[in-house]
Structure formats: structure tokens, C-alpha cells
Amino acid sequence: MAFVMMRRDKKDEEDGGNPFKNIEKATVVQEARTFNDQHINTRKCCMILTKLLYLINQGEILATVEATETFFAMTKLFQSKDVTLRRMVYLTIKEMSKLAEDVIIVTSSLTKDMNSKEDLFRASAVRALCMITDGSMLQGIERYLKQAIVDRDRSVASAALVSSLHLSRENFEIVKRWVNEVQQATSSDDHMVQYHALGLLYQIKKNDKLAITKLVSKQARHSLRSPFAHCLMIRIASKIIEDDEDSKGSSLYDYLESCLRHKSEMVVYEAARAIVNLKSVQSKDLSPAVSGIVIEQVAITHPLSVTTCNLDLENLVTDSNRNIATLAITTLLKTGSEASIERLMKQITSFMSEISDEFKTVVVDAIKALCLKFPRKHLTMMNFLSAMLRDEGGYQYKKAIVNTIISIIEENKDAAESGLGHLCEFIEDCEHTSIAVRVLHLLGKEGPKTLSPSKYIRYIYNRVILENSPVRAASICALAKLGAQVPSLKESIVTLLSRCMTDSDDEVRDRATFCVKILQENSLNVSVFGLERALMHYVKTDMVEPFNLKSVPVANTRTESKADVPNVTTIQKSATATASKQDLLAEQLARIPQFASLGPLFKSSDKPIEVTESETEYVVRCVKHIFQKHIVFQFDCTNTLEDQLLENAYVEIEPSDEFEVESTVPVATLAFNVPGTTYTCVSVPEDMDLMTGSFVNTLKFVVKDCDVNTGEADEEGYEDEYVLEDVEVYPADYMQRVLKSNFAASWEELDSEHQSEETYVLSSISTIEDAVKEVTDLLGMQPCERSDKVARDKNSHTLLLAGVYVSGDDVLARARFAMAQGQITMLLTARSQNETPLALVHKAVG
Amino acid sequence: MDSIVLDVTLYAVKAILILDNDGERIIAKYYDNTFTHLKEQKQFEKKLYDKTPRSSADIIMLDSMTAVFRSNVDLNFYVIGSSNENEVMLNCVLNGFYDAISTMLRKNVEKKYLMDNLDGVFLALDEVVDGGIILETDSTNIISKVAIKSNPLIQNDDLPLSEQTVVQVLQSAKDQLKRSLLN
């Protein structure tokens, strides 16, 4: 023995402790030929078989030919009487039964063995035999198997039962015939035999509910010996209880409950689990079930009933297995009351450093849930989280913490100040770029809303100095956001950003330049999506001309009026709402192939125009989409008649003068109360004078009567039409509002360009205020420098208007109002790069 | 993990693994079709090994499976079942297998000795679980089924007696029994 060990030791040093490491399949297959030798060397053959098993185990694939050859050689080994070798042979037969062909040739040898006197052979022989046998062979050995099931030797009986269970998957009908033997085996004295017999018996009878119920109640009354059998019975019982509610569940339930007092832990656990998993379970039943074993699952499904066991759980918190302790704590956190939180937090802190990151993440998640549940406790939580942030930990863990803090900040405004403070400290020393970027973004977003946004500048600017380029870029954006939203800080931030304009990284430099420019001019009031679309469109052209920013739809100017700090949030919300609405429309349009060639959308009318009375059969609203040379009318139709289904509905437009209808996009069906949209596209004439006018619209469709209840429509329909109100196209429709922060400068810029001037008498308007409003609406331009606010008791006023014409030209207008003898006179001066818009301006007023 | 009625089945064990200190497979026996290909198996083993904490015994949840494990020196023993499986039951299997191996290697549960007695380990494994069904969890029974190498009735000269005699086995089994009774 010692000698062998020593020999191995020497060998180990050469091949790294694994004598099987370097064996090769081909060699082993070659070696297997020694099985054919006259004198069988037991030790050597044993070794070869072990090698073979090891190879198969390592996932080496033996080809069928190789396997079959080896298998046949192996059959020779039945001549040896050595027990170990024989058992290795059985094992190898089992392993190779799926690899080699004609494995049934060993059937007779195995059958002989299973009936031999040597008990040690018999069990293994039964198992090997059942592995290689198939349906047709099975009948031949059926007699032996039935005997084996009731064999007095426990291992033989077990082997037979387990093998039968395997066989029953494919040969259920045959195995079913052995039910009497199996029944007899259930009363065996041996634990495992009993377990296997019950398992097989259940398998045989599982479709017979009554028999199974009987089986369980019988076995439940007899005290089973095997804990495994108990577990099996528990599962069967809980399945029966689950399957039919009105069953004699109570007696079965009593059985489950009695199992809770079983001396084997395994049974107690199984029973506890079965009970908490029962859907119909009452909370009073649960209390005994959970005492002792923690299942987090329980907390999720039955939070209330677990509460009663919180005391037990608290004991587990101090368990030496930190995983269990963590589960206990998180369970407690999930169920705990507000008062107990602080105490628990202390406890967690005590062992936080000892558990793995994954469990820490679990704890963090639990805290997050807790914070949302008890907002008042945020201070405790926040301190705890920040302490965790300072500790060692991997990326996932830190990310979880930061996410938690962020969601707390978002949910709970009170927590924002302290939360941001903690995060600021965290990014001072944060090795994870993506987390730092995330935090910086948050600072940019939330910082301006706090009481003293200025204190965040230092933290952010530190990042600019110390970090890698993505973080620097994010910092710059965050700074710019602060600058844009907090006017008092703007100047200093511009200074800081100017320093970054020499950064070594392209992205950082670009962003800095961009932000400085934006902050200084305070104007890039285009809608982001509009810009994106326009740029996409631009890229598709040959890009000879420089990109014209003016062709981009202008975002609602209210976005810029962030100066009113108290209302920032509401203003932003409404701004984003309108912007996204317009973008949504444009998005819809862009998807319609007919309109793809029209170029970028210039403007859509703000509010839909009602072209029907609101209480009529069909409600139609119209939105005008202005393109360079086209107008697309979008009609949103709603059918308010329950008994009608409209098909192929479209609006026929009779245009005035030079307009031409180019295409219509009908809506296929209009069911009751389901809005549908149809489009009509008209081309705009070149001549300025003819660009405006009114359109007579008729909604045309095919009506089909339909059943009110089923919604099914008749097959036949008839054509019908419905006259809509006229839609007007005004000069203002071709004008986009633009805010010029420095009107005078822009005005001077256009000095050399076209100018027109005319005087009007506004006879129908009585006050200057009304006049200003009227003219602004008519022109569709943006009042600048607050010139739309008229001072009281003044007889004169100057209105400054700015806009972009559909062609992309800037249009500026200065209207001087004077009040004399109750009549208002207006001197309107307009400047632009082009003639056409000027004419339009005057046409609009005139 | 909603409330689930557990399947009534004897097929409790999905796999039994012995991995070495580098996470390499020494023995791997998969009993169902969760991982059919070698690649999937190896991936799973790697994941499992990476998740294995450096403690002597514990439980791991991985990919809706439960693995109980015990490790010693440079070996990690795992028994894997579905996540709905009774963990205590799996642990029982693990302990039975581990104790049997431990007895067989005379408490030297180390890779070197394990490799030297690989045939015995294969046989023991075969006796613990059959095709996913728990066959035997009592280490004494397992040993008595396996460690019968030097059957005195069969004389074989070149058998190098690398194993204990029946008497030895019985003795050690008795010792173990005593210990478990005393505890």
C-alpha cells in the first residue's frame, strides 16, 4: 500500500498531481485490448476501466466503433471473479450503454449475475441490466425483476425498484404489472427500499386520484421510517390538497402539520415549505411552519404571517452563515415596522464587511424598497448607504447603491440635498467611469433645483481637472446645465468652461465650446428631434451648401424662459410636452411614404382646428403641416355613430386658385370611437399673392351599417359625404416664431438687405394692447425684448417681432403704434434677406 | 419563486460534481438534460466554481438551481438540484457521498488521494445516486457496498491491496457511528 502511494507521489511531481491528466483516448482504447489476454490482470484492467470512465467523464467522445470494440473486449472480463473489477465492469457497461452498439450481448451474463449467490453482484447487475435492456427484452427478464423487487437484500430491492422507475418512463405498461410486488416492498423495513417503493407506486398509480389519496392516508397513519419517504408523502399530499379544494384536505393537512414535529430536519423543512406554498393557506397555520427555517420566498408571498416570526428571524441574524443572516435581515426589512429599522440597520452594518458583494446588493435592494415604503426614514438610510459607498466593493455593488440613492432622490424631494451631497463625495473618489457619469448627469439635472446650486460647481469642476475624458465631458454638460438654469452662476460657469476649450480630448473640447456658445447666446431654441431629422435629411443630400439651422423647426420658445426660477419645473414640463407633441406629429408624417419627398417639416399649426361641431356624427379636426412647397392637411376623424362603420374615408379639398391637390392618404376604416387620420397634400403656388386662401373640404367615405352589440358590419355599403367647414391658410402659417435676444443687433445685421415700410390705420381696434396682440397673431412672429408688454397710459408703443420664413429667411418687423383721437395708426417696417417674406408681412396685416 | 407545488418525483439530483482547486472537473455526473453539451456543462461548472465562497460548506443558488457544497483542501464536492428541491435532502446526499469518500481515503480528502482511488470514487458515486434518484445516503452503507476490494475469499496475488480490508472498513464505520452518536 505504502509502496504504491510512494510510486504515485513520484509520478505526481511530474504531471501535476493528476495521474489521469495526460491520458489519451487512443491509448486507452488500445490498452483495452489487454482484456482479451488469457490471464486477466485484475489490477491493470481495473486501472484501464477507471481511465475509460475518467475519459467519458471528462466529456471525451468515443466513436461508436471504438466504443463497441472496447465494449466487446470488456465482456471477457466476466471471466474474472474479482469483485471490484466486476463492479467496474458493470459501471462501464452502464456508461457505455448509450455509446456502443449491440450492448445487449451482455444480457445473459448480467442475468446470471443477478441470480447468483453473491449479493454484491446482484444489485449492480440489476441496474446494469435495466440500463441496457429495451422493451422487447424486458419481458424476458420481467420474472427476475419482480423477484428482485421483493428480494430480502435491501440493495437488490432498491436497485430493482429504482431501475423499474427508470424503465417506467418508456415501458409503463409492463412496469404497471408489478404493482403487487411494489406494494409489498413499501412495507419493507429498510428506509431506502420504502422510499423507492413509494416513489414507484405513486408513479404507477398517479392517474388514479382515489388510490393515491388512500395511499397517502394509509402511509400517513403508519409511521414511515424513512425521512425521504416522508418528504415524498408530503409532496404527494400537498399536490392532492392543491388539486382539489374540497377534498378531505383537512386530514392531509393534519398530516403535513404533524410532520412539522418530525425529528428529521429534512421532513420539517419539506413540510414547512409545502404548507407555505399552499395557496389556500391561512396565516395562523403558517406560524408554526416558519419557525426555524428562513425562506425569503415566504416573505414575498405572505408578508403578514411572517411578521409573527420576526423574533425568530432576529435570532438568525446573528447566524454564523452570513448568507442566512443576510436573508434573515432582508426578510426582516421587508416585513419590519418603521420603528425597528434603525436597530436592524445597525446590525447589518456590523457584518456588512463580511458578506459577498452579491448579498450586499440584495441588502441594498431591500433598503431601496424600504425607503419607498417609509420615506421619513430616509436620513438613516441615506447615512447607511453613504457608509456603504465608502466601503470596498465591486462595480455591480456600487452601481446598486448609486441607483438606490438616485431613486430615493427622485422619489423624495426632502432627501435630495443630502443624497446629492453623498454622491458628490462619492465621485471624488470613484473608479467606475459609468457611475461617475451617471452621478454627474444627475447633478446637472437635480442640482439647479436645490437651495444652493453653487456648491456643486466645485465638485463638478474637480472632475474636469482630475478625471478621464468621458467623465470630463459629462462634467462639462453638468456645469452647462447648472449655468443655463441658474442665471446667477452663468457668468462664472462660462469662465470655467472657457478653460476647458483647450482640453486634449476632442469630445470634451467640442462640448465645452458648444456649451459656452449656447450659454453666451442663450439661443438654440430648436427642437431636438427636429434638429435630428433635419440633419438626417441634410446628410442624405450632397452637402454642398452649409447646413442651415433655420430650416429646423423651432422649439416652443417658452423653453427659454427659465428665468422664472420658482416655476422651472412646471414650465419645463409644459415645454417638453408641447415639443414632444409636435415631434410626435412630425414623426407620424415622416412615416408616410407619399410625404417623404417633401423635405423637412417647417411648421405644424399649434392647435388643431375644429372643422365640425363637436357634437355631430363625425368629429373632425385639422392640423396644417407646412413644408417648403407643400401643405399637408391632417384630418383626425372620429366616428361617433355606434351603428356605422366608415371605410376608405378621405377629405376632398377644393382648393382656391392655384393650389393643387397632389395626393390623399385615406384611412381604411373608422370604427365607432376609434380615431383615424387621413392626410391630404396640396402644392403651394409660387406666387406670393396666391399662397393664402381658404379651402372647402368634404369628408368622403363608404358607410356600412353595423350591429351595435357585435360590431359586425354589413357587407354592402354606400358612398356618402359630409361637408366640413372651410380651412383657411394664413400668411402666419408660413412664419415660424424665433426669439432674438438682441433685437437691435439682428436688426442692424439686416440693414443692407431688403426693407419695406408701410403705414396702416387700425380702425377696428380700440387699444394699443389689443393691437399688439392682433398684429403678433396675424404675423405669426415672436415678440422680442418683451415688447409685447404695453405700458399703461401711453399713447405710443413699439413692437419688435422676429420670425423665420418658410424659405429659411430671417424676418424682422418693427411696428410702431400711435394712438390719436381714439384711432390707432401703425407704422410697420419689415426687414429680410428676401422680397417675398416682406410682401407676405404686409399682406398679413393688410 | 411563486408558490409552487413541487413535482412528485424521485428524481431529486440534477448533478454531482467534484471540482479541483482551479475549478477543473475531476468528476461530473449529470443526471438530466439541463446541460446536454460538454460546453454548457463546463460553463456551468466555471460559473459555479466562481460563485463558490471560500468556506468549507455552504449553499449556492445559481440559474434556478440549488447547489450544496463541501470543500476540503483542494477538492470541492457539489450536489445540484432544482431550486425547488429540498436543500436538506441535497445536503444529506452530499454528506453521505463526502463521508463515504472521506472514509475511503482515510480522512485524506485531497486530490492526490482521490485520484489514486478514482475507481472507488466512481463506484461510490454510482451507489449514491442512480440516474438522479437518491439510492443511498448512509456513508456506512455506501462504503460497505463499495470498499470490498480485498475480498478474502478471492485470492489474487497481484492485487496490491491499495484498499483497506473489510475488517478495517467495518472498524472505521463503527468509529464513525460512535462519533455521530456521541455528537
Span A469-486, pLDDT tens digits: 788 888 888 888 777 777
SS3 track for A480-536: HHHHHHCHHHHHHHHHHHHHHCCCCCHHHHHHHHHHHHHHHHCCCCECHHHHHHHHH
C-alpha angle A753-A759-A764 in degrees, rounded to nearest 5? 135
| Assigned domain for B158 exists | yes
- Residue B132: exposure state from Cβ atoms within 10 A (0-12, 13-18, ≥19): buried
A328 to chain B, minimum CA–CA distance in Å?
15
Please list every residue in chain B whose beta carbon sits closer than 8 Å to the beta carbon of residue A166.
Answer: 130-131, 133
Q: Worst-scoring range by mean pLDDT, A385-389, A618-622, A696-700?
A: A385-389
pLDDT at A306: 39
Convert the pLDDT of each residue in A425-455 to its tens digit.
777 777 777 888 888 888 777 777 777 777 7
Predicted ipTM > 0.85: no
- Do residues A721 and A788 share a domain? no
Q: Please name the residue that has the C-alpha cell 492485487.
A: B159
- Let me know whether A517 and A554 are in one domain: no
User: How many domains does one find in chain A?
Assistant: 5
Average pLDDT, chain A: 73
Q: In this structure, is residue A195 part of a structural domain?
A: no
Residue A66 inside a domain? The answer is: no
Tell me, yes or no, whether A744 lies in a domain: yes
Three cell numbers, residue A102: 449491440
Q: How far is B98 from chain A (nearest CA, A)?
A: 18
pLDDT tens for residues A255-286?
777 777 777 777 777 777 776 666 544 443 44
Q: Is residue B154 part of a domain?
A: yes
Question: What is residue A349's predicted lDDT score, i.e. its pLDDT?
Answer: 66
Per-residue pLDDT band for A297 (boundaries 50, 70, 90) equals very low
What average pLDDT does this structure show over A36-58?
82
Which of A12, A202, A235 lies at the smallest CB-CB distance from B6? A235
> DSSP states of A418-481 as a string?
HHHHHHHHHHHT---HHHHHHHHHHHHHHGGGSS-THHHHHHHHHHHHHS-HHHHHHHHHHHHH
Q: How far is CA B11 from CA A98, A163, A748, in A?
A: 20, 12, 89
CB under 8 Å to A348, separation ≥6 — which residues? A329, A363, A384
Q: Does A323 touch chain B (CB under 8 A)?
A: yes
Taking only the tens place, the pLDDT of each residue in A354-372 is: 666 666 777 777 777 777 6
Residue A772 and residue A676 in one domain = no
Does residue A743 lie within any of the structural domains?
yes
Of A684, A702, A729, the residue that ends a domain is A729
Same domain, A632 and A702: yes
Q: Chain B within 8 Å of A355 (Cβ-Cβ)?
A: no
Question: Residue A7 domain-assigned?
Answer: no
- What are the tens digits of pLDDT across the range A699-753? 888 888 877 776 677 777 788 888 888 888 887 788 887 777 677 777 877 776 7
User: Dihedral through CA A481, CA A487, CA A489, CA A490, nearest 10?
Assistant: 70
Question: For A614-669, how does the pLDDT look when each residue is reduced to its tens digit (9 = 90+)?
Answer: 777 788 888 888 887 788 888 888 888 777 888 888 888 877 667 778 788 888 88
Residue A514 one-letter amino acid: F
- Could you tell me the residue range of the domain that residue A534 belongs to? 527-591
DSSP code per residue over A7-74: HHHHHHHHHTT-TTTT--HHHHHHHGGGGGSSS--HHHHHHHHHHHHHHHHTTPPPPHHHHHHHHHHH
Phi, psi of A58 (to 5 degrees): -75, -5
A162 touches chain B (CB under 8 A): yes
Q: Cβ-count burial of A827 within 10 angstroms (0-12 exposed, 13-18 middle, 19+ buried)? A: middle
In a shared domain, residues A607 and A533: no
Give the 3-state secondary structure of residue A624: strand
Q: Which residue of A has its CA nearest to B115?
A: A18
% of chain A with per-residue pLDDT over 90? 0
What pLDDT score was predicted for residue A554? Answer: 53
For chain B, the domain total comes to 1
Does B30 fall in a domain?
A: yes
Statement: residue A575 has pLDDT above 70: no
Q: Is B162 inside a domain boundary?
A: yes
Burial of B133 (0-12, 13-18, 19+ CB in 10 A): buried
pLDDT at A565: 36
pLDDT at A292 over 50: no
Single out the residue of A559, A584, A585 nearest to residue A572, CA to CA.
Answer: A559
Confidence band of A571 (pLDDT split at 50, 70, 90):
very low
> pLDDT digits over A157-214, tens only?
888 888 888 888 888 888 888 888 888 888 877 888 888 888 888 888 887 777 887 8
Under the banding of pLDDT at 50, 70 and 90, the label for residue A112 is confident
Tell me: the pLDDT tens digits for A217-259? 777 766 667 788 888 888 888 787 777 655 555 677 777 777 7
B3/A273 CB distance under 8 A: no
CA distance B103 to chain A (A): 16
Domain boundary among A469, A499, A522: A522
Is residue B17's pLDDT more than 80?
yes
pLDDT for A593 beyond 50: yes
Torsion of CA A408, A413, A415, A417, to 10 degrees: 120
Q: Are A396 and A364 in contact (CB under 8 A)?
A: no
pLDDT at A7 over 70: no
The three three-digit cell numbers of residue A191, written as one number: 428506509
Provide the residue type at B42 as one letter. K
Residue linked to cell 417503493 = A197
Q: Nearest by CB to A127, which of B28, B119, B130?
A: B130
Strand partners, A454: none
Mean pLDDT, residues A302-327: 47
Mean pLDDT, to the nearest integer, of B25-51?
85
Residue B92 lies in a domain: yes
Same domain, A742 and A819: yes
Alpha helices in B8-86 (DSSP H): 38-51
Tell me, yes or no, whether A739 and A716 share the same domain.
no
Average pLDDT over residues A279-304: 40
CATH number of the domain enclosing B165? 3.30.450.60
Confidence band for A325, pLDDT divided at 50, 70 and 90: low
Of residues B41, B42, B97, B46, the one with CA closest to residue B68: B97
Residues of A in contact with B119 (CB under 8 A): 46-47, 49-50, 53, 84, 88
Give pLDDT, residue A13.
43
Alpha helices in A150-264 (DSSP H): 154-167, 172-176, 179-186, 191-205, 209-221, 227-243, 249-259
Q: Is residue A315 part of a domain?
A: no
All cell numbers assigned to A30: 488500445
Closest CA to A806 of A471, A446, A548, A614: A548
pLDDT average, residue stretch A771-795 = 79
Identify whether residues A836 and A763 lie together within a single domain: yes
Q: Is A346 domain-assigned? A: no
Residue A83 vs residues A87, A359, A642, B148: alpha-carbon distances, Å: 6, 49, 88, 7
Q: What is the pLDDT of residue A285?
A: 42
β-bridge pairing A718-723 and A754-762: unpaired
Range of weakest confidence among A270-274, A568-572, A824-828: A568-572
Q: Are A785 and A689 in the same domain?
A: no
- Residue A701: how many CB atoms within 10 A of its CB? 27
| Per-residue 3-state assignment (H helix, E strand, C coil) for A405-418 | HHHHHHHCHHHHHH
Tell which A residues from 213 to 232 touch B, by Cβ distance under 8 Å.
Answer: 228, 231-232
Identify the pLDDT of residue B146: 75
**How far is the C-alpha of A436 from the C-alpha of A463, rounded, in Å?**
9
- Show the 3-state SS of A143-154: HHHHHHHCCCCH
What single string gives the DSSP state of each residue in A114-169? HTSS-HHHHHHHHHHHHHH--HHHHHHHHHHHHHHHT-SSHHHHHHHHHHHHHHTT
Is the distance from CB of B79 to CB of B68 less than 8 angstroms?
Answer: yes
For residue A282, the model assigns a pLDDT of 44
What is the model's pLDDT at position A564? 36
Q: Identify the CA nearest to B99 among candidates B162, B49, B169.
A: B169
Average pLDDT, chain B: 77
Alpha carbon of A260: minimum distance to chain B alpha carbons (Å): 14
> CA of B175 to nearest chain A CA: how many angstroms apart?
22
Chain B contact for A319, CB < 8 A? no
All three cell numbers of A32, joined, read 483495452
Residue A750 and residue A833 share a domain:
yes
B2 in a structural domain? no
Cell of A143: 420474472
Q: Are residues A446 and A499 both part of a single domain?
A: yes
Q: What per-residue confidence (pLDDT) applies to A336?
A: 58
A206 touches chain B (CB under 8 A): yes
HSE (CB half, 13 Å, CA atoms) of A82?
Answer: 24
More confident residue, B104 or A278: B104
Q: Of A252, A281, A310, which one is at a domain's C-terminal end?
A: A281
Question: Which residue range forms the structural domain that includes residue B51?
Answer: 15-182
| Cell triple for A167 | 424503465
In a domain, A402, yes or no: no
What is the structure's pLDDT at A492?
Answer: 80
Higher pLDDT, A127 or A377: A127
Tell me, yes or no, whether A444 and A493 share the same domain: yes
